[in-house]
Chain A
Amino acid sequence: MAKLLETIDLVTNFHTYEGIVNALNKVSLFADHGVTFGLVGESGCGKSVFVRSVMRIVQEPGMIEGGKVILFPDKKETKTAVNLLDQSEAYMESLRGDLISMIFQEPNAALNPIMSIGEQVAESFLFHRKQEMCRKIAEELDSSECRTIPLLRHFQKSVYQIAEKNPDAFVLKLLSRIPVLKRWEKRLIQEAMDRSAEIIGKLGIPNPEDILRSYPHNLSGGMKQRIVIAIALACSPILLIADEATSNLDVTIQAQILEMLRQLKHTEISSILFITHDLGVVAEICDRVGVMYAGNLCEVADVRDIFRSPRHPYTYALLSSVPRLFQEGELQSIEGSVPNLISPPSGCRFHPRCPRAGDICREKLPELEEVGNNHYVACWKI
C-alpha cells in the first residue's frame, strides 16, 4: 500500500504560564491511501493537537517544535511528497478544505448562523474551484445552446477567461464594483450552487434544494453535522479528518452518520483519519488504529489485531475498561489518573499506572517497533 500521510517525531508544546505542556512527544505514525485510520485515547492525550499540528492550525500558545509532517498526494509518485511544516501559509490555506479537509465535534462552531446553508457550501467551491468553474462556464458560453446575445456573450466569455487565468485580477475587482457588469458573477455562483446541491444530494439528504435555502438554526444537530461533512467533501479531498465528529450525537443519529461515512468510503472519500475516544466507533468504521496516551503513540495495528490481541499494556487496560455487549465479570479500571503534561512521568509515560513497569520503563522512552504483521508497539516489556 502507498503512504498518504506520515509524521516523524512530531513535537508540539504549549507555552503556558504554568509551564511548558508537552502535548505531543515525538509522535511518528503513517497512514496509507484508502484506509480509515482511527486515533483513540482518553481526553487530553493529544489527539486534537495531533491533527491540528498536521493541518498547522495549533492554537496559541501552542507551537510545533520539531519533526516532519509529510503528505504524499500521489499514490504512485512518491517524489511529489511535501513536508507540510516547510510550506508557506498560503500553500496551507489552499490545501485546507481542498486536498485535506476537517470536521469537528461542534457543527455550530463550523457553520455561520447568518449565512444560508447554500452560501456556505458554495463558498468552498468559490474558494478552491473558481478557475475550474470559470473554464467550464467559458466553454458553455461557446456552445451553441447558449442564448445570450452575441456581444454580451463575447464579453462574458473574455471575463471568465481572465478569471480562469488569474482569479485575483484587478479588472475583475473593478467589474465587481460596477452594478450592471457585476452580473457576470451570477453564473459562477449558480454553478457553485448547482455543485452544492449535487454534493448534498450525494450524502443522501432529502430535498437538497430546500436545505440549501435554510439557515443553520432551522436544522437539527445531526443534519448540521451532515452539512459540515458536505462542505468538507465539496472539493473531493484525498484525506478527511474527523475530530470527534459523532461524539455529541445521539446513538440513532450517530448510526446514521457512520453509515453515511461508510457508504461515502466507496464513492467520495478515499481516506479518513477518524479521531475518537469511543472504542465502539473505532471498531465500527476503522481499518487501522493508533492508540495514544499522554502525548505518546503506544500502539498501531489493524483494527482486528487491536481488539483481538492488544500488545501494549495501556491498550489492554483500555479495552478491559469498556463495558462489552457480552460483559463477563467486573470491569477492570486503570488505577490512578492521566498525568499532567507539564511535568510528565519520565521514560514511558504510562509507567506509573502500568502493571508490568520495570526500571527501564522509568528511564527511557520506548520507540514504536514492529512486533508482528504490520503491528507496532512502543513498550519495553513485550
Chain B
Amino acid sequence: MKKILELKNLKKHYPVISGVLRRQVNSVKALDGIDLDIYRGECLGMVGESGCGKTTTGKVIIRLQDPTSGHTIYHPESNGLPADISSMSRRAMKKAGIRGKLQMVFQDPATSMNPRMLVKHIIAEPIREQVRLGSRELEDRITGLLELVGLSKSHLLRYPHEFSGGQRQRIAVARAIAVNPEFIVLDEPTSALDVSVQAQILNLLRKLQKELGLTYLFITHHLLVVKYISNRVAVMYLGKIVEIADTRDIFSHPLHPYTHALLSGIPVPDAEHKSRRMILTGDVPSPLNPPDGCRFHTRCPFVTDQCRKREPLLETVQDGHKAACHRKSEIQKQLVL
C-alpha cells in the first residue's frame, strides 16, 4: 500500500507561561514524539482517554497548528516528490496544492460553524479559496455536495441553528469534502450525537470514503465506533502511541496492558456478555510532568523496575502490530490465563 502521510518523531508542546516576567515555566507535552505511517485509502482509528493528545495530533498533521519539532511528510498521489509539510509556510502549501488536500471535521458541529453564515456560504468558503467559479456553477456544486451528504437544495438558505446536531455534522462533512481532499481528520465526529443519528453519520462517512477514495484519521474515545469504522487502530496514552495494529488484531489480542484495560472497560451493549475486567487504579498523570520511564507505569498492574527507569520503544511484534511495552511478550500470556 502507498503511504499518504508519514509522521516522524512529531512533537507539540504548549508552553506554560507564568509570573510577572511572562517566562515559560513548563510545557504541556500534548504530543511527545510520535511515529506513524498513514496509508492511502485506509481509515486509521485513533483512541485514547481525553487529554492524551488526539485532537492535537490531528491539528498538527494538517497544520492547523505548527509542531514543536519533528516532520510530517506528504506523499502526493501521482509520483510527485514527497514534501515535508511540517516546516512549509502556509502559502507554499497552498501553492503546492496540499492545503486543500488535508481537511478536518470537528466534534461539535455547533461551534465549528459561524452561526451568522448561511449554509450556502459555509460550504462555499473553502471552494472560493481554491478556485474561481461563477455563482451559478458554485451553487450547483454546493447543491451536489449537499445531496452527497443526504441533505437537499432546500437547505441552502438556512442558518446552522435551524438544523439538528446530525444535520449540522452533515454540513460540516460537506464543507470538508468540498475541495476534493485526499485526507480528512475526523475528530470525534459522532460523540455529540445520539446513537441513532450516530449510525446515520457513520454510514455516510463509510459511503463517502468508498465513493471518493478518501483516507481518514478517525479520532474517538468510543472503542466500538472505532471497531466499526476503521481498518487500523492506534492507541494513545499521554502524548505517545502505545500500540498500533489492524483493528481485528487489537481487539482479538491486545499486547499493551493499557489497550487491554481500555477494551475490558468498554460497556458492551449485550446483557449476556460478561468480560474479565481489568480495572486500572488512579488517573492519567498530568502531561505537564509525565512520569519517567514508561508513562503508563503509575497505573500498570505489571510494572517492574525496568518500566520505571527506561522508556519502551514502539516495536514491531508481528507484521504491522507494534506495541511499546517492556513486558509485551510475557503479559500476553498472563492476560489470557
Contact = CB atoms under 8 A, between A and B. Distances in A.
Interface in B179-220: 194-200, 202-203
A281 B280 CA distance: 18
Contact of B194 (A43, A259, A327): A43
B166 interface: yes
- The size bracket of the interface on B is 35 or more
Contacts of B198: 321
A337 B166 CA distance: 9
A332 B283 contact: no
A171 interface: no
Contacts of B199: 321-322, 331-334
Interface stretch (B19-27, B91-99, B262-270): B262-270
Contacts of A61: none
B205 to A, nearest CB: 11
Contacts, number: 120
Q: Would you call the interface of chain A mostly helix, strand, loop, or mixed?
A: helix
A252 B264 CA distance: 9
Contact of A324 (B164, B200, B269, B283): B269
Contacts of A281: 267
Residue among B221, B223, B224 having the largest count of chain A Cβ atoms under 10 Å: B224
Contact of B227 (A259, A317, A327): A327
Contact of B267 (A258, A303, A332, A334): A258
Nearest to B280: A252
Interface residues of A, number: 43
A278 B267 CA distance: 8
Interface string A252-270: 1111101100000000000
Given A250-B49, A252-B49, A337-B164, A323 B265 contact: no
A282 B279 CA distance: 18
Contacts of A283: 267-271, 273
B128 to A, nearest CB: 31
A340 B251 CA distance: 40
B314 interface: no
Interface string A314-342: 00011101111101001111100110000
B50 to A, nearest CB: 6
Contacts of B203: 330-331, 333
Interface string B255-297: 0000001101111111111000101110110000000000000
B270 A324 contact: yes
A47 B77 CA distance: 50
B269 A279 contact: yes
A254 B225 contact: no
Nearest to B204: A333
A174 interface: no
A280 B262 contact: no
B300 to A, nearest CB: 12
Contacts of B281: 256
A185 interface: no
A332 B262 CA distance: 26
B278 to A, nearest CB: 9
A176 to B, nearest CB: 40
B224 A252 contact: no
B224 A251 contact: no
B271 A306 contact: yes
A333 B150 CA distance: 13
Nearest to B228: A323
Contact of B224 (A277, A284, A324): A324
Question: Which of B164, B195, B225, B277 has most A Cβ within 10 Å?
Answer: B195
A144 interface: no
Nearest to B267: A280
A220 interface: yes
A307 B272 contact: yes
Given A220-B283, A222-B283, A250-B221, A333 B200 contact: yes
B168 to A, nearest CB: 12
Given A259-B277, A321-B198, A323-B225, A308 B271 contact: yes
A279 B195 contact: yes
A277 B194 contact: yes
Chain A CB within 10 Å, residue with most, of B196, B225, B280:
B196
A371 B23 CA distance: 70
B223 A251 contact: yes
Contacts of B194: 42-43, 277, 338
Interface in A240-255: 250-255
12 contacts: A42-B194, A254-B267, A258-B267, A277-B194, A280-B267, A281-B267, A307-B270, A307-B272, A322-B224, A325-B251, A325-B266, A334-B196
Interface of A: 42-43, 220, 222-223, 250-256, 258-259, 277-284, 303-304, 306-308, 317-319, 321-325, 327, 330-334, 337-338
